[in-house]
Structure 1
Amino acid sequence: MQAKVAVVTGGADGFGATITDRFHQESYQVIIIDINKEKGEQKASGSPNIHFLFGDVTQQDTWEQALALARDRFGRLDIVVNNAGITGAQSPVHTKDMGEYERTFNVNVRPIFCSARSIVPFMMEQGKGVFYRFNKWMVGAIQASNDISTGCTRPRPGFAFYNASKAAVSIATKTMALEYAPTIRFNCIAPAVGNTSMLQASIGSGADSQERLQRIEDLLPMKRVAQPMDIANAVWYLATDQSSFVTGTTLEVDGGRGI
């Protein structure tokens, strides 16, 4: 049986690296796109079934290269996981500059547009696909699957346009689910803050880092942060035929934060 193929953006680190591992565990060919060349090459060196593409997901050329790699080497592309994204420092809108605003929408929203432009026509011709996107909830320091955040469903002060970028992804995902059903499914995952290098950078490594972590955990009804495998398992569910009747939804994997 021919192996399925997944593209995971930001697949060299954090949630993306564990999502890559989850698909690899299920015998997928995984193409990771990342701007961190060192970590990307290191991730790909661990298996002949993980393939690293150095590129910027805000650029259309990067997506054309990813599609060409999948099509020419494997003859198919089944899953797109738009995991890459950024947050910013917590502060009210009037203190933000135009550069931060533009970066936020460029990195968090533009790749959804670029990936769909390149890959949707191929999936339509292929007859099946999934897009997924994360909408992340971050501490303030797919079929197609798109990563958003609980900031989209339960916004926090100080992150107005980060939250807005995630809401934009959510409504775009729902709209594309209508536009391309029944051939392609589009869904989002909204994680809570996760145990990744981004969290570690936020809480620091000083004597009070555990206290900072505890304050974050206390915000979550489940009293712990998301582990990368919590998110990877949710992505896997949305990517497989186990969720064949699920499209246009946001799955909150947030320990109850969004309630």
Structure 2
Amino acid sequence: MSQNLEGQIAIITGGMRGIGLAIARRLHAEGAQIVIWDLAVDGWDSAENGFEPVLRQSVDVSSLASVEAAFAEVLERVGHVEILVNNAGINGPVVSSWEYPTEAWDKVIAIDLNGVFYCCRTAIPHMRERGYGRIVNIASMAGKDGVQYISAYSAAKAGVIAFTKAAAKELAQDGVLLNCVAPAMVETPLMAEMTQAHIDASKAKIPMGRFLKAEEVANMVTWIAGPECSFTTGFVFDLSGGRATY
């Protein structure tokens, strides 16, 4: 590895498993020190995961107070943050929009969209003050296409894309770059929330005929989060296996 991120601190939300863990591993391999934010942070196995985070914090990204308290502790403990990866998210139920439970809708929006806003709102002033930052928001192809029966998830991820573009323009001259990635379906534990029919339909949309691997997401995120990504902001990087043509 090139160790492009030596000396940098990276916060990964939802970093205990799945895509978040894969991103954390890859950023660590590039030299970054990792701060893990997740609801439950017990049971970390350094040998199995391949590294020891500098901090593991129990954070509810749908609560601004929780995010602000955790970020303050990060600054107190390590002094600075260069990278924020907003990965925490839930799928929600797979059901028609007119039957979508309102409490489930509120929860998906709270975690998948409000959580991104709260984390960005909290981290951006620190990054602006230092004149450097990289924020990568994990969106989804569902946010570009709209996927039937997951209307809340689609709406939240579309919101993440639009928020990323808007905030990136505001920060374009501040040294803080915001981009997002839009993966097709990834092989993660999140599939447990989905019906087999939904999984099969998602796979059928991918011309490569397979699901995305978490490590492939991590590879893309690592480049976006690094110093070599210097003139791209407000962009949506597709990881679609050929599904996206725009």
Aligned position for 1:257: 243
Aligned position for 1:103: 107
Aligned position for 1:134: none
8 Å Cα contact 1:31/1:66 also seen in 2: no
Aligned position for 2:169: 178
- 1:73: how far off? 2.6
Aligned position for 1:166: 157
**Counterparts in 2 of 1:180-219, with a 5 A limit?**
180-182=171-173, 183-199=175-191, 202=194, 216-219=202-205
Runs of 5+ unmatched residues, structure 2? none
Specify the SS of the correspondent of 2:77: helix
- 1:34: how far off? 0.5
Runs of 4+ in 1 over 4 A off after TM superposition: 43-46, 211-216
Deviates more, 1:219-228 or 1:55-64: 55-64
What is the TM-score normalised by the length of structure 2?
0.88
- Taking the aligned partners of 1:190 and 1:215, their CA distance within structure 2 comes to 18
8 Å Cα contact 1:12/1:43 also seen in 2: no
**Counterparts in 2 of 1:143-162, with a 5 A limit?**
143-162=134-153
Q: How many pairs does the alignment contain?
A: 239
- Taking the aligned partners of 1:73 and 1:168, their CA distance within structure 2 comes to 32
Specify the SS of the correspondent of 1:56: coil
Considering only aligned residues, what root-mean-square deviation do their CA atoms show, in Å?
A: 2.3
Aligned position for 2:81: 77
Matched letter for residue 207 of structure 2: P
Specify the SS of the correspondent of 1:111: helix
8 Å Cα contact 1:190/1:250 also seen in 2: yes
The reply on whether 1:229 has 2:215 as its aligned counterpart is yes
Aligned position for 2:29: 25
Relative to structure 1, the CA distance from residue 122 to residue 188 in structure 2 (aligned partners, 3 Å threshold; closer, same or farther) is: same
- Taking the aligned partners of 2:136 and 2:73, their CA distance within structure 1 comes to 19
Relative to structure 1, the CA distance from residue 99 to residue 122 in structure 2 (aligned partners, 3 Å threshold; closer, same or farther) is: same
- 1:63: how far off? 2.1
What is the TM-score normalised by the length of structure 1?
0.84
Work out the percentage of aligned pairs sharing the same amino acid: 29
Specify the SS of the correspondent of 2:65: helix
Specify the SS of the correspondent of 1:120: helix
- Taking the aligned partners of 2:149 and 2:137, their CA distance within structure 1 comes to 23
Relative to structure 1, the CA distance from residue 89 to residue 214 in structure 2 (aligned partners, 3 Å threshold; closer, same or farther) is: closer
- 1:219: how far off? 2.6
Matched letter for residue 105 of structure 1: I
- Taking the aligned partners of 1:3 and 1:104, their CA distance within structure 2 comes to 34
